[in-house]
Copies of this chain bind each other. A is one copy, B any other.
Amino acid sequence: MRYMEDTLLHHLHTNDTEALKTFLFTIEELPLLQVFTSLSANEKAIVFRLLPKDKALALFEALQPTAQHHLLRSFTDEGATEFFNDMAPDVRVRLLDELPASVTKKLLQSLTASERDATNLLLGYERETAGRLMTPEFITLKKEMTVEDALAKVRLQAREKETIYTLYVTDQRKKLHGVLSLKELLIAEGSQLIADIMSHEVIYVATDTDQEEAARLLNEIDVIALPVVDRESLIVGIVTADEGRHILEDEAIEDMF
């Protein structure tokens, strides 16, 4: 174990990211957990982000809730941010695997908007992508809920969510199955199932979709928000029409000069 820890720290302190990445790719789950707990907050953030997605998810789920919380807070630390900031964007894109959707959600929800800004680099979303624009403030429903249950959930969560006029239907893993408007929910009978009133045609963008492309889509299809999904089609955020308009306005101003 001592050897594992020394190797990891050596790669970390010599900034040898490629060697670190290879090391993390080969290490088993249990030794990883043991080495991980002995690291400093900054080191944890860096190591965690260099893990492949499946290992990151396993490690995160093995941590106690308090340790999970500390790990997510460390994503805003300057040391970790600088580490990734020093990389060229293409290297960063190659080295940082997508975060598991459940981790992304917890991370985005535990941060204020300005803190979110600071973690964008660690999230692995490059500049001017939908991932950078998205907000975690949306409400999800389940197919098997009744309209009354769903309305109760909306009323409970409305205060803390930016967008409540579009509702997303997902399974337990947050895979996107449908969408409906709050208006459609209000019109339906209380005993109807969400599965029966939702629309199956969901237009979405990916975290790495260019922000202008997302903005143009929002402008064209006249919706309040577009869901943003990761590579597993799990919903990780939404981009609102307001954000889209700001992007198009900024772009129009840029084009004038």
Contacts and interface: CB of A to CB of B under 8 A. Distances in A.
A155 B242 contact: no
Contacts of A222: 242
14 contacts: A154-B186, A155-B186, A155-B187, A158-B183, A158-B186, A158-B187, A159-B187, A164-B183, A164-B186, A165-B165, A165-B182, A165-B183, A182-B182, A222-B242
A222 B242 CA distance: 8
Contacts of A242: 222
Nearest to A160: B187
Contacts of A183: 158, 164-165
A119 to B, nearest CB: 27
Interface in A160-189: 164-165, 182-183, 186-187
Contacts of A187: 155, 158-159
A242 B222 CA distance: 8
A188 to B, nearest CB: 9
Contacts of A158: 183, 186-187
A154 B154 CA distance: 15
A221 to B, nearest CB: 12
Contacts of A159: 187
Nearest to A242: B222
A86 B167 CA distance: 51
Interface in A139-170: 154-155, 158-159, 164-165
A159 B154 CA distance: 19
A191 to B, nearest CB: 14
Contacts of A155: 186-187
A219 B182 CA distance: 23
Top-7 shortest CB links A-B:
A158-B186, A155-B186, A158-B187, A159-B187, A158-B183, A164-B183, A165-B165
Contacts of A164: 183, 186
Contacts of A154: 186
A27 to B, nearest CB: 48
Nearest to A222: B242
A126 to B, nearest CB: 28
A81 B182 CA distance: 40
Contacts of A165: 165, 182-183
A222 B158 CA distance: 19
